[in-house]
Amino acid sequence: MNNNQIHKQFHFNKLLKLVFGMAVVLQLIVISYNHFSGYHHLNGFNELVFRVIRGIIYSMIAGFAIAYPDLLVINYLNKKLQWQQGALKRALVQFAFMIIIAVVVSSLMTSFAHWLNPYRQGFQNVLVNNMLIYSVVNAFFMSILEAWIYLDESTKEKIRAEQLHQQLIAEAATRAKFEAQMLIEEEKNKYARKLIEQEKKLNKSLELEIHKRVLLSEQLNESREQLNSILANLAGAAYRCYFDEHYSMKYISEKIFDISGYHAAEFIVNTQQTYAAVIHPDDRDFCRQSIKEAILQKNQYEFEYRIVHHSGKIVWVSENGKGIFNESNQLVYLDGIIVDVTRRKEAEFAATESERNYKELMDLLPQPIFELDIEGNILYINGAGKVFFGIEMPENSDEKISALDLMIEEDVPRVKENIRKSNQAILSTPIEYSVKRPDGSTCPVLIYGSPIIRNEKIVGRRGIIIDISDRKKYEKKILQAKEALERVNSTLEQSIAERTRQLTETNTKLLKVQKENLQAQFEVLKQQVNPHFLFNSLNVLSSLIDKDIAKAQLFIDEFSQIYRYVLETIEKTVVTLGKELGFVRSYIFLQQIRYGDNLNFTVNLPSKLLKLYMPPLSLQVVLENAIKHNIVNESHPLHINISHVDAWLIVSNSIQPKISMGNSTGLGQKNMVKRYALISDKEPTFQVINNQYVVKLPLLNVENDERIDH
């Protein structure tokens, strides 16, 4: 059949309208989909107009290239295979020709268009998309052409039937006697009506088929949009690859660019890069072995490893996937997802380093530091605690050491009650207990503790243990000295009158000095390390580790300086003002971590005074009393100033007493006066001047005094 015969059956004007309408609709759909899906962005209105016109021209050429073969196929099938004689065979042949025509035309048109203006998306991607689009368009096109041909033939049949009917009426009028001829004509009419009914049913079937194909096309487009949206919103890059030496990618989402710096297209079938090449060399064997083990057991695999970013930096990723097997139980693909976990790994490394520094600091402390769970089992104990109790923490986490096992039997009920109160967030004061030593003896201790809170829930208890055996010995000696004094006084009063009285007064003064000396030494020993200050500092450090690792590290350094100073001066009588000021600056730094800008501290001293001497920790006692007895907040900042008058150190602070504080016992001031009395005739003074609390501390020149350990 040539073109003239085709145009007689299907007029060219009708074909031109059909092709042009198809071209316009197709280009509007394709250009809109490419633009809004991100497959190809339009740069301005001029490019939009150019692409629409160019697309309509290409589509019309393709439409005529498809239409004529379709018409030839339809006419051929109408002659050889009628619907009522072989519908299934006709549909299969028609579908095969439809695919062949679409593939050939799309290949020719795509190649020609790419030759004129190369595609930015890649020839292969455009070719596959065009084949799919041309196949759908050809299915729709062939259905329209066939329906239109059937409609025309039905109309012609109707006309022929009417003409036949008129002829039958005319012949019936003139040939009434020919009954047999009339029956034949009636049969023809019946057959014509039957054909018309068949055509109606066929047209209805074609309409239903066209509607189904339109719905199928819409569902396909919707599924694609949903898939693209899901892949774009995933936290990681989804992939499907072969389990070969390169992990050749059959598919990988564009999210891989955010993780590795390489686009997905570079990995597809190893176009420009292999995924195996970006895995860190030290982790490649580990990755392959992890996947092999999961495949052998047909389980999911999940592991973490490093990759080398396009920029050269190291990126930590977590990969989760599973092997896909065919019906023959052979591995076909690996399907999975790759997620960037670099920030989490860096946080874990930082937390581990902070915890290590924290435990190293705890091991430097001479007092035992402990952490318990809510049942009283030991979670952590520092080096001093292990030596003090003679224990080692078990390597197996299932094995527990109970803190109750370290206490004497009489104190166990009190310990249990204190743990119960701590678990209920009931505050408790430091309590004295007796604990067991490695040699079987017992030792009196003072335990400071507070609850450990995680996520607003009490999970245990943390504290410090102070050995008070020396304090108990001093108390016993003082009591014995007092009893001895009383016995001496009683004996002397009974034996001698005036001489006894004079001797008694002399002895009383001597014993008083000895007692005050012992008491002063005892107070100095207690003041060397204030357990409240130590415990509060540990709590501040614990909270800083969770909030600001850098500031926590600085806190640890300053805290170490304080404790090192305490250990160095524990047996010294005096230290230089320069060393004492260095210690005080570290002490004030820790307090300012707690109070912030609400605590102000200034020093105005000449360098020549830094070589003079004073009892160690004297200045710290004055500063601690100022902070302890005054309000320190944003509305009432505390100002502390250190200056001098000649060889006297002047420490002043604003007076803003705490409402809840009772009357001060003055033990700190009394102890400082006694300590100065042991080494000098000068003594400190404490005054209130112009709403300022002023403390004057004498600075001593004791370089040549051999009685003083400096």
Instruction: Mark which of 340, 364, 392 sits at the end of a domain.
Output: 340
Residues 43, 80, single domain; the answer is yes
**What mean pLDDT value characterizes the chain?**
78
Question: How would residue 660 be classed by pLDDT, with cut points 50, 70 and 90?
Answer: low
Lowest mean pLDDT among 174-178, 183-187, 280-284, 604-608: 174-178
Question: Global pTM?
Answer: 0.36
- Same domain, yes or no, for 305 and 380? no
**Looking at residues 661-687, what average pLDDT do you find?**
78
Q: Are residues 81 and 171 in the same domain?
A: yes
Distance CA 51, CA 27 (A): 8
Number of domains in the chain: 4
Q: Are residues 228 and 240 in the same domain?
A: no
pLDDT for 524: 47
Q: Where are the alpha helices (DSSP H) in 271-410?
A: 275-278, 284-297, 342-364, 383-389
Contacts of residue 623, defined as CB under 8 A and 6 or more positions apart, other chains included, come to 584, 587, 588, 640, 651
Which residue do the tokens 């042949």 mark?
93
- Quote the pLDDT of residue 522: 43
Note whether residue 192 is domain-resident: yes
Q: Is the pLDDT of residue 289 over 80?
A: yes
Q: Is residue 567 a part of any domain in this protein?
A: no
Domain shared by 160 and 207, yes or no: yes
Could you tell me the pLDDT band of residue 566, with boundaries at 50, 70 and 90? confident
Q: What is the dihedral of CA 624, 628, 633, 639, to 10 degrees?
A: -40
CATH number at residue 282: 3.30.450.20
**CB-count exposure of residue 105 (10 Å: 0-12, 13-18, 19+):** buried
Percent of the chain with pLDDT over 90: 15
Do 446 and 382 fall within a single domain? yes
Q: Calculate what percentage of the chain has a pLDDT beyond 70.
A: 78
What 3 state SS string does 188-205 have?
HHHHHHHHHHHHHHHHHH
Among the listed residues 255, 232, 253, 259, the one whose alpha carbon sits nearest the alpha carbon of residue 241: 253
Region of poorest pLDDT, from 15-19, 257-261, 633-637: 15-19
**Residue (of 537, 692, 687, 585) closest to 630 by Cα position:** 692
pLDDT value for 563:
77
* Same domain, yes or no: 63 and 83: yes
- 102 in a structural domain: yes
336 and 387, same domain (yes or no): no
Kindly give, in sequence order, each residue whose CB lies less than 8 Å from that of residue 371, ignoring residues fewer than 6 positions away.
378, 379, 380, 381, 452, 460, 461, 462
The verdict on 288 and 198 lying in the same domain is no
Residue 166's pLDDT is what? 75
Residue 526 confidence (pLDDT) above 50: no
On whether both 144 and 53 belong to a single domain, the answer is: yes
Q: pLDDT for 126-181, tens place per residue?
A: 777 777 777 777 777 777 777 777 676 677 767 777 777 777 777 766 766 666 66
Asked if residue 322 has pLDDT above 80, the reply is yes
Q: Indicate whether 606 belongs to any domain.
A: yes
The residue with tokens 């999961």 is 294
Domain boundary among the residues 456, 484, 512 is at: 484
Q: Over range 447-460, report the average pLDDT.
A: 80
Cα 435 from Cα 445, distance rounded (Å): 7
Q: What is the pLDDT of residue 374?
A: 80
Q: How confident is the model at residue 518 (pLDDT cuts 50, 70, 90)?
A: very low
- CATH code at position 614: 3.30.565.10
Q: What is the mean pLDDT of residues 658-673?
A: 70
- Count the residues in the chain: 710
Report residue 325: phi and psi, to 5°: -110, 150
Together in a domain, 162 and 93: yes
Q: Which residue among 426, 450, 484 closes a domain?
A: 484
Q: DSSP for 636-698, please give it.
A: S-EEEEEEEETTEEEEEEE--B-SS------HHHHHHHHHHHHH-S---EEEEETTEEEEEEE
Is 558 within a domain?
no
C-alpha distances (whole Å) from 478 to each of 277, 432, 571, 679 are 79, 20, 21, 22
Tell me which amino acid residue 262 is.
Y
pLDDT of 100 strictly over 90: no
Of the candidates 509, 521, 527, the residue with the CA atom closest to the CA atom of residue 679: 521
Residue 393 structural domain: 349-484
Q: What is the CA radius of gyration of the chain?
A: 49
Residue 2: per-residue pLDDT: 55
With a cut of 70, say whether residue 228 has pLDDT above it. Answer: no
Cβ atoms of 370 and 385 within 8 Å: the answer is: yes
Residue 209 and residue 111 share a domain:
yes
Question: Is residue 498 situated within a structural domain?
Answer: no
Q: Is there a domain that residue 492 lies in?
A: no
Q: Is residue 156 part of a domain?
A: yes
